[in-house]
Amino acid sequence: MSIQIRTAAVTGLKKCEILNLETPDLRPGEALVKVHAVALCTLEQRIFRGEVKMPLPCTGGHEVSGEIAAFGPGVNLKKWAVGDRVAVRLLYSCGECYYCRTGHTNMCERAQKKPTREGLLVGPGGLCDYVIVDTASLFKIPDTLTYEEACLTEPLACVVHSVGRANIQLGEDVVVIGGGIMGQYHVMLAKRRGARVILSEVDPARAELAKKLGADMVFNPMEVDPVEFVKSVTEGRGADVVFNTTAIPSVVPQAIAMTGKAGRMIQYSSMHPDAPTPVSPQMLHGTETVLTGSISPDGHDFFVANRLLSSGIIDCKSMIARTFPFAQAQDAFEAAIVPGTFRVIITD
Ligand SMILES: [Zn+2]
Ligand SMILES: [Zn+2]
């Protein structure tokens, strides 16, 4: 049975409007979820600012939590019940391309080509008062976790993936560059992996927050030379792991230079526009440094992030900047694109 829903859709340049839509019927294995919280990630902000070209109107929103409202046929009702509180995984992978088949679903060739259901708009689709998803994309949350916290499962899953790429060992020196929401999540996870965590951040408030969340050391890259500083606190070696969470081109050669022998440099942030940097083959030969990156979480990362939040191992309350009601989605987008803002969340 189809129902009337509302979406907060991007309809033009820096324009978000509430539109009415009609859902398709639920298919076997699907659930209808009443959305209670959606966070505005960088992807939504880029669509709003016209930097990511999508056919408009477009429904953004891939950081979502809510409550199960109804089921299609064939759902395992021993596992699921109407009223279950859930985090929702909305990013798409096709399951049948080379990367999906080899376990790299985060690199699915069709990740940006999520099929659009009849009656709904293109886009990740979370900025609606109801969403339709396979129950395989639902992750139960406990009553101790608010919906606002639970919608931050997806960004945490991105960082779970990144930290997994670094293979951090007990006692290693880990540098996190940038103390935004993603930098703070890296600090928390690296600390729990048993590392000594060093944050590079210019803003004193973010530096203080990182100390509260587990950073052992913070420095201001405007006040000290970042490479010299990291070498000075690692007996001249450089760090075992460096995460660059910033999109600042000049930081990349510094991040490589502060990575020690047998170290791993993870380019976490995307770079728009891209900014190629020279790399010394002799350095790679002589140090076995690993230069890599991290893009999007896979299903396992999401599962881990759900467990970290649900069990209270990670507390994400300080990642929330502001919340806005659904009707004020335009204001929420405008607040979200202010540089330096932590997550802005739209609630029902
Ligand atoms: Zn996201
Ligand atoms: Zn695929």
One domain, residues 90 and 197:
no
Q: Is residue 230 part of a domain?
A: yes
| Residues 220, 340 within the same domain | no
Same domain, 148 and 10: yes
Residues within 5 Å of ion ligand 2, judged at the Cβ atom: 93-94, 97, 100, 108
Same domain, 172 and 282: yes
State the CATH number of the domain containing residue 142: 3.90.180.10
**CA 71 – ligand 1 centroid, Å:** 26
Tell me, yes or no, whether 125 and 44 share the same domain: yes
Report whether pLDDT(1) > 80: no
In a domain, 251, yes or no: yes
Structural contact between residues 324 and 179, judged by C-beta atoms closer than 8 angstroms: no
Question: Is 308 inside any structural domain?
Answer: no
Q: How far is the CA of 190 from the centre of ligand 2 (A)?
A: 29
- Whether residues 137 and 63 fall in one domain: yes
Cα 136–Cα 140–Cα 142 angle in degrees, nearest 5 = 175
How many Å lie between the centroid of ligand 1 and the Cα of residue 63? 6
Name the closest ligand to CA 61. Answer: 1
Ligand nearest to the CA of 106: 2
- Are residue 243 and residue 287 in the same domain, yes or no? yes
Q: State in Å: Cα 99 to ligand 2 middle.
A: 6
- Is 98 contained in some domain? yes
> 143 and 20 in contact (C-beta within 8 Å)?
no
**Sequential DSSP letters for 267-326:** E-S--SS-------HHHHHHH--EEEE--S--HHHHHHHHHHHHTTSS--GGGEEEEEEG
Residues 121 and 221 in one domain: no
Calculate how far, in angstroms, residue 233's C-alpha sits from the geometric centre of ligand 1.
Answer: 33
Contact of 319 with 187, CB cutoff 8 Å: no
Whole-number Å distance, alpha carbon 94 to ligand 2 midpoint, is 4
Q: Nearest Cα to 127, choosing from 66, 191, 214, 200?
A: 66
Q: Find tokens 């690296």 and name the residue.
A: 190
76, part of any domain: yes
- CATH number, domain of 250, equals 3.40.50.720
**Backbone dihedral region of 83: left (phi > 0), alpha (psi from -120 to 50 degrees) or beta?**
left
Interval 268-276 mean pLDDT: 92
Contact 319, 150 (CB under 8 A): no
Q: Which of 5, 8, 83 is nearest to 47 (CA)?
A: 8
Residues 9 and 138 both lie in one domain: yes
CA of 90 to the centre of ligand 2 (A): 14
Does residue 269 carry a pLDDT above 80?
A: yes
Q: Which of 165, 163, 219 is nearest to 192 (CA)?
A: 163
Nearest listed ligand to the Cα of residue 109: 2
Ligand 1 midpoint to CA 43 (Å) = 7
DSSP for 103-152, please give it.
T-GGG-TTTT-PPPPTTS-BS---SBSEEEEEGGGEEE--TTS-HHHHTT
Q: What is the predicted pLDDT for the residue at 90?
A: 93
Query: Do 201 and 71 reside in the same domain of the chain?
Result: no
Q: What is the mean pLDDT of residues 69-86?
A: 97
- Residue 156 CA: which ligand is closest? 1
Residue 233 lies in a domain: yes
Query: What is the average pLDDT value for the chain, to the nearest integer?
Result: 96
In three-state secondary structure terms, 243 is strand
Q: How confident is the model at residue 2 (pLDDT cuts 50, 70, 90)?
A: confident
Going from the Cα of 214 to the center of ligand 2, the distance in angstroms, rounded, reads 36
91 CA distance to ligand 2 middle (Å): 11
Summarised one tens digit per residue, pLDDT across range 163-188 is: 999 999 999 999 999 999 999 999 99
Whether residue 13 is found in the same domain as residue 140: yes
Domain range for 203: 159-293
What's the CA dihedral at 82, 88, 90, 96 to 10 degrees? Answer: -80
263: tokens are: 């170290």
Residue the block writes with tokens 């088949």: 101
Could you tell me which residue, 340 or 331, shows the higher pLDDT?
A: 331
Asked if residue 190 and residue 109 are part of one domain, the reply reads no
CB 248 within 8 A of CB 218: no
> pLDDT tier at 52 (50, 70, 90 boundaries)?
confident
In a domain, 302, yes or no: no
Asked if pLDDT for residue 290 goes beyond 80, the answer is yes
CA pseudo-torsion sign 300, 305, 306, 312: positive
What is the CA(105)–ligand 2 centre distance, in A?
6
- For 298-326, how does the pLDDT look when each residue is reduced to its tens digit (9 = 90+)? 999 999 999 999 999 999 999 999 999 99
Look at the chain and report how many structural domains it folds into: 2
Is 307 part of a structural domain of the chain? no
